[in-house]
Structure 1
Amino acid sequence: MTSKSYVYLLLTDTGTLFTKSIKKYTKAPYNHASIAFDAELKEMYSFGRKNPNNPINGGFVKEDIFTGTYSKYPNTTCVIYKLEVSEREIEKMKRVLNVFIKNQKKFLYNLIGVLGVSINEPVEFSNSFFCSQFVAEVLHRSGIKLWDKLPALVTPDDFRKHKELICVYEGKLFDYGPIKK
Protein backbone atom coordinates (compact mmCIF):
# COMPACT_ATOMS: atom_id res chain seq x y z
CA MET A 1 0.00 0.00 0.00
CA THR A 2 1.43 3.38 -0.95
CA SER A 3 1.33 6.30 1.44
CA LYS A 4 -0.12 9.61 0.39
CA SER A 5 2.23 12.27 -0.91
CA TYR A 6 1.60 15.98 -0.82
CA VAL A 7 2.99 19.17 -2.21
CA TYR A 8 2.33 22.35 -0.20
CA LEU A 9 1.30 25.70 -1.61
CA LEU A 10 1.94 28.75 0.52
CA LEU A 11 0.18 32.05 -0.18
CA THR A 12 1.45 35.05 1.75
CA ASP A 13 1.01 38.75 2.41
CA THR A 14 4.13 40.41 3.84
CA GLY A 15 2.57 43.86 3.96
CA THR A 16 5.31 45.47 1.84
CA LEU A 17 4.61 48.49 -0.36
CA PHE A 18 4.72 46.23 -3.45
CA THR A 19 2.24 43.75 -2.00
CA LYS A 20 -0.04 46.55 -0.76
CA SER A 21 -0.10 47.96 -4.30
CA ILE A 22 -1.03 44.57 -5.79
CA LYS A 23 -3.62 43.98 -3.06
CA LYS A 24 -5.28 47.33 -3.78
CA TYR A 25 -5.83 46.18 -7.35
CA THR A 26 -6.64 42.46 -6.84
CA LYS A 27 -8.65 42.79 -3.62
CA ALA A 28 -7.20 39.35 -2.77
CA PRO A 29 -5.91 38.61 0.75
CA TYR A 30 -2.64 37.03 -0.45
CA ASN A 31 -0.43 38.02 -3.35
CA HIS A 32 2.62 35.76 -3.24
CA ALA A 33 2.70 32.02 -4.02
CA SER A 34 5.37 29.43 -3.23
CA ILE A 35 5.62 25.67 -3.61
CA ALA A 36 7.06 23.42 -0.89
CA PHE A 37 7.77 19.70 -0.70
CA ASP A 38 7.40 19.33 3.05
CA ALA A 39 4.94 20.48 5.73
CA GLU A 40 7.79 22.29 7.55
CA LEU A 41 8.34 24.47 4.43
CA LYS A 42 12.09 23.76 4.46
CA GLU A 43 12.24 22.95 0.75
CA MET A 44 10.29 25.86 -0.72
CA TYR A 45 10.65 27.72 -4.03
CA SER A 46 9.20 30.71 -5.81
CA PHE A 47 9.98 33.81 -7.84
CA GLY A 48 10.54 36.83 -5.66
CA ARG A 49 13.27 38.89 -4.03
CA LYS A 50 16.74 37.43 -4.43
CA ASN A 51 17.91 39.67 -1.60
CA PRO A 52 15.51 40.42 1.30
CA ASN A 53 16.76 44.04 1.38
CA ASN A 54 16.29 44.71 -2.34
CA PRO A 55 12.75 44.56 -3.76
CA ILE A 56 13.99 45.41 -7.27
CA ASN A 57 16.28 42.39 -7.81
CA GLY A 58 13.89 39.47 -8.35
CA GLY A 59 14.08 36.01 -9.82
CA PHE A 60 14.05 32.32 -8.93
CA VAL A 61 14.60 31.76 -5.20
CA LYS A 62 14.81 28.91 -2.74
CA GLU A 63 12.91 30.55 0.07
CA ASP A 64 14.01 30.31 3.68
CA ILE A 65 11.49 31.51 6.26
CA PHE A 66 14.13 32.27 8.90
CA THR A 67 16.85 33.96 6.82
CA GLY A 68 15.10 35.14 3.65
CA THR A 69 12.55 37.84 2.93
CA TYR A 70 10.02 36.52 5.48
CA SER A 71 12.54 37.07 8.28
CA LYS A 72 12.23 40.82 7.58
CA TYR A 73 8.42 40.69 7.89
CA PRO A 74 7.48 38.92 11.14
CA ASN A 75 3.79 39.83 10.75
CA THR A 76 3.43 38.04 7.42
CA THR A 77 0.02 36.39 7.10
CA CYS A 78 -0.47 33.22 5.10
CA VAL A 79 -2.62 30.34 4.06
CA ILE A 80 -1.09 26.92 3.43
CA TYR A 81 -2.70 24.30 1.23
CA LYS A 82 -1.76 20.74 0.49
CA LEU A 83 -2.40 18.93 -2.76
CA GLU A 84 -2.35 15.16 -2.91
CA VAL A 85 0.05 13.99 -5.61
CA SER A 86 1.71 10.75 -6.61
CA GLU A 87 5.39 9.95 -5.98
CA ARG A 88 5.84 10.03 -9.75
CA GLU A 89 4.41 13.58 -9.91
CA ILE A 90 6.79 14.67 -7.15
CA GLU A 91 9.71 13.18 -9.12
CA LYS A 92 8.57 15.13 -12.19
CA MET A 93 8.24 18.36 -10.18
CA LYS A 94 11.75 17.91 -8.77
CA ARG A 95 13.12 17.38 -12.29
CA VAL A 96 11.44 20.60 -13.42
CA LEU A 97 12.81 22.39 -10.35
CA ASN A 98 16.33 21.14 -11.07
CA VAL A 99 16.24 23.03 -14.38
CA PHE A 100 15.44 26.21 -12.43
CA ILE A 101 18.07 25.48 -9.78
CA LYS A 102 20.84 24.76 -12.31
CA ASN A 103 20.01 27.87 -14.35
CA GLN A 104 18.83 30.20 -11.58
CA LYS A 105 21.08 33.10 -12.63
CA LYS A 106 19.36 33.16 -16.05
CA PHE A 107 15.84 33.61 -14.63
CA LEU A 108 14.23 37.01 -14.09
CA TYR A 109 11.09 38.24 -12.36
CA ASN A 110 8.29 38.71 -14.91
CA LEU A 111 6.93 42.09 -13.79
CA ILE A 112 5.37 42.69 -17.22
CA GLY A 113 3.58 39.34 -16.83
CA VAL A 114 1.98 40.60 -13.60
CA LEU A 115 0.58 43.51 -15.59
CA GLY A 116 -0.56 41.08 -18.30
CA VAL A 117 -2.67 39.15 -15.78
CA SER A 118 -4.50 42.38 -14.92
CA ILE A 119 -5.75 42.65 -18.51
CA ASN A 120 -6.13 38.86 -18.97
CA GLU A 121 -3.38 38.84 -21.59
CA PRO A 122 -0.54 36.33 -20.97
CA VAL A 123 2.94 37.83 -21.24
CA GLU A 124 5.48 35.02 -21.38
CA PHE A 125 9.25 35.04 -21.74
CA SER A 126 11.26 31.82 -21.73
CA ASN A 127 13.35 32.81 -18.70
CA SER A 128 10.96 35.08 -16.81
CA PHE A 129 8.22 34.22 -14.29
CA PHE A 130 6.19 35.77 -11.51
CA CYS A 131 5.44 33.74 -8.37
CA SER A 132 2.07 32.15 -9.15
CA GLN A 133 3.02 31.65 -12.80
CA PHE A 134 6.10 29.70 -11.63
CA VAL A 135 4.12 27.49 -9.21
CA ALA A 136 1.46 26.81 -11.84
CA GLU A 137 4.19 26.09 -14.42
CA VAL A 138 5.91 23.52 -12.17
CA LEU A 139 2.58 21.76 -11.59
CA HIS A 140 1.60 21.99 -15.27
CA ARG A 141 4.93 20.62 -16.56
CA SER A 142 4.54 17.73 -14.11
CA GLY A 143 1.16 16.78 -15.55
CA ILE A 144 -0.96 18.47 -12.88
CA LYS A 145 -3.41 20.75 -14.64
CA LEU A 146 -5.54 22.57 -12.10
CA TRP A 147 -6.91 25.18 -14.51
CA ASP A 148 -7.95 25.53 -18.12
CA LYS A 149 -5.72 28.55 -18.57
CA LEU A 150 -2.06 29.24 -19.15
CA PRO A 151 0.25 29.40 -16.10
CA ALA A 152 0.98 33.02 -17.17
CA LEU A 153 -2.62 33.89 -16.18
CA VAL A 154 -2.72 32.06 -12.82
CA THR A 155 -2.90 34.31 -9.75
CA PRO A 156 -2.31 33.47 -6.09
CA ASP A 157 -6.06 33.83 -5.61
CA ASP A 158 -6.66 31.07 -8.17
CA PHE A 159 -4.91 28.69 -5.75
CA ARG A 160 -6.98 29.98 -2.85
CA LYS A 161 -10.21 29.26 -4.73
CA HIS A 162 -9.29 25.81 -6.08
CA LYS A 163 -11.44 22.97 -4.73
CA GLU A 164 -8.71 20.29 -4.90
CA LEU A 165 -6.47 22.16 -2.48
CA ILE A 166 -6.89 21.33 1.20
CA CYS A 167 -6.34 24.20 3.63
CA VAL A 168 -4.02 23.11 6.45
CA TYR A 169 -3.38 26.50 8.09
CA GLU A 170 -4.31 30.16 7.91
CA GLY A 171 -2.88 32.89 10.11
CA LYS A 172 0.49 34.44 10.97
CA LEU A 173 3.29 32.59 9.18
CA PHE A 174 5.49 32.42 12.28
CA ASP A 175 2.64 30.88 14.31
CA TYR A 176 2.44 27.89 11.94
CA GLY A 177 3.21 24.90 14.19
CA PRO A 178 5.50 22.78 11.96
CA ILE A 179 7.99 25.64 11.38
CA LYS A 180 8.37 26.73 14.99
CA LYS A 181 11.91 26.41 16.21
Structure 2
Amino acid sequence: MASDQYVYILLTNTGTLFTQLIQTYTRAPYNHASISFNRELSDMYSFGRKHPSNPLHGGFVKEDIQTGTFSKYPNTTCVIYELQVTSREKEKMKRVLHIFIRSQRKYLYNILGIIGIALKEPVEFSNSYFCSQFVAEILQRSGIKLWDKLPALVTPDDFRQCDKLKLLYEGRLSEYRPENC
Protein backbone atom coordinates (compact mmCIF):
# COMPACT_ATOMS: atom_id res chain seq x y z
CA MET A 1 0.00 0.00 0.00
CA ALA A 2 1.57 3.27 -1.07
CA SER A 3 0.52 5.29 1.95
CA ASP A 4 1.72 6.23 5.36
CA GLN A 5 -1.74 7.04 6.70
CA TYR A 6 -2.91 5.23 9.82
CA VAL A 7 -5.87 4.90 12.13
CA TYR A 8 -5.67 3.46 15.62
CA ILE A 9 -7.91 0.94 17.31
CA LEU A 10 -7.88 1.04 21.10
CA LEU A 11 -9.30 -1.88 23.09
CA THR A 12 -9.75 -1.34 26.82
CA ASN A 13 -10.78 -2.96 30.07
CA THR A 14 -11.71 -0.48 32.79
CA GLY A 15 -12.50 -3.19 35.32
CA THR A 16 -15.99 -1.79 35.98
CA LEU A 17 -18.90 -4.00 36.98
CA PHE A 18 -20.39 -3.66 33.49
CA THR A 19 -17.08 -4.70 31.91
CA GLN A 20 -16.79 -7.63 34.32
CA LEU A 21 -20.29 -8.79 33.36
CA ILE A 22 -19.42 -8.69 29.66
CA GLN A 23 -16.09 -10.40 30.34
CA THR A 24 -17.84 -13.23 32.17
CA TYR A 25 -19.52 -14.09 28.90
CA THR A 26 -16.82 -13.20 26.35
CA ARG A 27 -13.75 -14.43 28.25
CA ALA A 28 -11.90 -11.73 26.28
CA PRO A 29 -9.32 -9.47 27.97
CA TYR A 30 -10.75 -6.28 26.45
CA ASN A 31 -14.40 -5.43 25.96
CA HIS A 32 -14.46 -1.84 24.71
CA ALA A 33 -13.31 -0.56 21.30
CA SER A 34 -12.53 2.97 20.14
CA ILE A 35 -11.09 4.50 16.99
CA SER A 36 -8.57 7.31 16.81
CA PHE A 37 -7.13 9.24 13.92
CA ASN A 38 -3.79 9.95 15.61
CA ARG A 39 -1.22 8.03 17.62
CA GLU A 40 -1.66 10.38 20.59
CA LEU A 41 -5.31 9.22 20.82
CA SER A 42 -6.43 12.84 21.17
CA ASP A 43 -9.01 12.42 18.41
CA MET A 44 -10.78 9.26 19.64
CA TYR A 45 -14.42 8.15 19.31
CA SER A 46 -16.69 5.31 20.35
CA PHE A 47 -20.06 4.39 21.76
CA GLY A 48 -19.97 4.17 25.52
CA ARG A 49 -20.74 6.00 28.75
CA LYS A 50 -21.74 9.62 28.38
CA HIS A 51 -21.01 10.11 32.09
CA PRO A 52 -18.25 8.12 33.84
CA SER A 53 -20.37 7.13 36.84
CA ASN A 54 -23.48 6.07 34.89
CA PRO A 55 -23.10 2.96 32.70
CA LEU A 56 -26.77 3.10 31.68
CA HIS A 57 -26.56 6.48 29.92
CA GLY A 58 -24.60 5.74 26.78
CA GLY A 59 -24.26 6.82 23.21
CA PHE A 60 -21.80 8.39 20.79
CA VAL A 61 -18.83 9.83 22.68
CA LYS A 62 -15.57 11.62 21.98
CA GLU A 63 -13.18 9.94 24.38
CA ASP A 64 -10.14 11.36 26.10
CA ILE A 65 -7.57 9.24 27.92
CA GLN A 66 -6.87 12.14 30.34
CA THR A 67 -10.47 12.91 31.31
CA GLY A 68 -13.86 11.27 31.49
CA THR A 69 -14.32 7.56 32.02
CA PHE A 70 -10.69 6.58 31.52
CA SER A 71 -9.48 9.08 34.15
CA LYS A 72 -11.99 7.68 36.65
CA TYR A 73 -10.47 4.20 36.20
CA PRO A 74 -6.67 4.72 36.35
CA ASN A 75 -5.96 0.97 36.24
CA THR A 76 -7.58 0.61 32.83
CA THR A 77 -5.64 -1.88 30.71
CA CYS A 78 -5.47 -1.57 26.96
CA VAL A 79 -4.08 -2.73 23.68
CA ILE A 80 -3.50 -0.29 20.81
CA TYR A 81 -3.37 -1.34 17.18
CA GLU A 82 -2.33 0.56 14.08
CA LEU A 83 -4.11 0.04 10.77
CA GLN A 84 -2.46 1.30 7.61
CA VAL A 85 -4.95 2.94 5.26
CA THR A 86 -4.84 5.08 2.17
CA SER A 87 -5.36 8.81 2.47
CA ARG A 88 -8.65 8.36 0.59
CA GLU A 89 -9.87 5.72 3.07
CA LYS A 90 -8.92 7.92 6.01
CA GLU A 91 -10.70 10.89 4.46
CA LYS A 92 -13.83 8.73 3.96
CA MET A 93 -13.66 7.65 7.62
CA LYS A 94 -13.50 11.26 8.74
CA ARG A 95 -16.51 12.13 6.57
CA VAL A 96 -18.50 9.23 8.07
CA LEU A 97 -17.40 10.28 11.55
CA HIS A 98 -18.60 13.85 10.93
CA ILE A 99 -22.08 12.48 10.26
CA PHE A 100 -22.00 11.03 13.79
CA ILE A 101 -20.57 14.23 15.27
CA ARG A 102 -23.18 16.48 13.61
CA SER A 103 -26.07 14.34 14.87
CA GLN A 104 -24.56 12.95 18.05
CA ARG A 105 -27.61 13.61 20.23
CA LYS A 106 -29.79 11.26 18.20
CA TYR A 107 -27.51 8.24 18.70
CA LEU A 108 -28.15 5.69 21.41
CA TYR A 109 -26.15 2.82 22.88
CA ASN A 110 -27.26 -0.50 21.36
CA ILE A 111 -27.47 -2.63 24.51
CA LEU A 112 -29.67 -5.17 22.69
CA GLY A 113 -26.94 -5.52 20.08
CA ILE A 114 -24.69 -7.02 22.74
CA ILE A 115 -27.34 -9.66 23.39
CA GLY A 116 -27.51 -10.22 19.62
CA ILE A 117 -23.81 -11.09 19.60
CA ALA A 118 -24.44 -13.72 22.26
CA LEU A 119 -27.23 -15.16 20.10
CA LYS A 120 -25.15 -14.78 16.91
CA GLU A 121 -28.01 -12.75 15.43
CA PRO A 122 -27.45 -9.10 14.56
CA VAL A 123 -29.73 -6.69 16.41
CA GLU A 124 -29.65 -3.40 14.58
CA PHE A 125 -31.65 -0.24 15.13
CA SER A 126 -31.19 2.97 13.21
CA ASN A 127 -29.03 5.42 15.17
CA SER A 128 -28.04 2.81 17.74
CA TYR A 129 -24.58 1.21 18.09
CA PHE A 130 -22.33 -0.49 20.59
CA CYS A 131 -18.60 0.26 20.62
CA SER A 132 -17.15 -2.38 18.29
CA GLN A 133 -20.15 -2.15 15.96
CA PHE A 134 -19.46 1.58 15.59
CA VAL A 135 -15.73 1.10 14.85
CA ALA A 136 -16.49 -1.68 12.35
CA GLU A 137 -19.17 0.51 10.73
CA ILE A 138 -16.74 3.42 10.30
CA LEU A 139 -14.24 1.08 8.64
CA GLN A 140 -16.80 -0.70 6.46
CA ARG A 141 -18.45 2.52 5.22
CA SER A 142 -14.97 3.66 4.20
CA GLY A 143 -14.33 0.55 2.12
CA ILE A 144 -12.27 -1.35 4.69
CA LYS A 145 -13.56 -4.85 5.34
CA LEU A 146 -11.62 -6.74 7.97
CA TRP A 147 -14.12 -9.61 8.39
CA ASP A 148 -16.88 -11.40 6.55
CA LYS A 149 -19.54 -10.39 9.05
CA LEU A 150 -21.88 -7.51 9.69
CA PRO A 151 -20.63 -4.69 11.96
CA ALA A 152 -23.46 -5.65 14.36
CA LEU A 153 -21.67 -8.95 14.99
CA VAL A 154 -18.13 -7.58 15.43
CA THR A 155 -16.71 -7.79 18.95
CA PRO A 156 -13.69 -6.02 20.44
CA ASP A 157 -11.93 -9.39 20.43
CA ASP A 158 -12.38 -9.61 16.64
CA PHE A 159 -10.02 -6.63 16.39
CA ARG A 160 -7.55 -8.37 18.69
CA GLN A 161 -7.62 -11.45 16.46
CA CYS A 162 -7.30 -9.52 13.18
CA ASP A 163 -3.95 -10.04 11.45
CA LYS A 164 -4.32 -6.80 9.46
CA LEU A 165 -3.76 -4.73 12.59
CA LYS A 166 -0.27 -4.03 13.92
CA LEU A 167 0.19 -4.15 17.71
CA LEU A 168 1.67 -0.89 19.03
CA TYR A 169 1.19 -1.11 22.78
CA GLU A 170 -0.27 -3.30 25.51
CA GLY A 171 -0.42 -2.34 29.18
CA ARG A 172 -1.96 0.30 31.40
CA LEU A 173 -3.59 3.09 29.44
CA SER A 174 -2.24 5.66 31.89
CA GLU A 175 1.31 4.55 31.02
CA TYR A 176 0.89 4.78 27.23
CA ARG A 177 3.43 7.10 25.60
CA PRO A 178 2.98 7.43 21.81
CA GLU A 179 6.58 8.55 21.34
CA ASN A 180 7.77 5.16 22.66
CA CYS A 181 5.87 3.15 20.06
TM-score, length basis structure 2: 0.97
Q: What residue is the counterpart of 1:135 in the other structure?
A: 135
CA shift digits 1:72-121 (9 cap, x unpaired): 00000000000000110111000000000000000000000000001100
Q: Is 1:173 paired with 2:173?
A: yes
Over residues 56-79 of structure 1, what are the superposed CA-to-partner deviations in whole Å (9 max), with x where a residue is unaligned?
110000001111100000000000
**Residue 116 (structure 2) aligns with:** 116
5+ residue gaps in structure 1?
Answer: none
CA contact (8 A) 2:3 2:84 kept: no
In structure 1, the partner of 2:39 is 39
CA contact (8 A) 2:3 2:86 kept: no
Partner of 2:87: 87
Q: Is the 8 A contact 1:31 1:157 kept in 2?
A: yes
What is the percent sequence identity of the aligned residues?
A: 69
CA shift in 2, pair 1:95/1:29, >3 Å? same
- 1:44-83 to 2 correspondences below 5 Å: 44-83=44-83
Distance (whole Å) between structure 2 residues aligned to residue 53 and residue 63 of structure 1: 15
Name the count of aligned residue pairs.
Answer: 179
Q: Distance in 1 between matches of 2:16 and 2:32?
A: 11
Q: TM-score, normalised by structure 1?
A: 0.97
AA of the residue aligned to 1:101:
I
Moved over 2 A (4+): none
Q: Please tell me the root mean square deviation across aligned C-alpha atoms, in Å.
A: 1.2
Shift of 1:179: 8.3
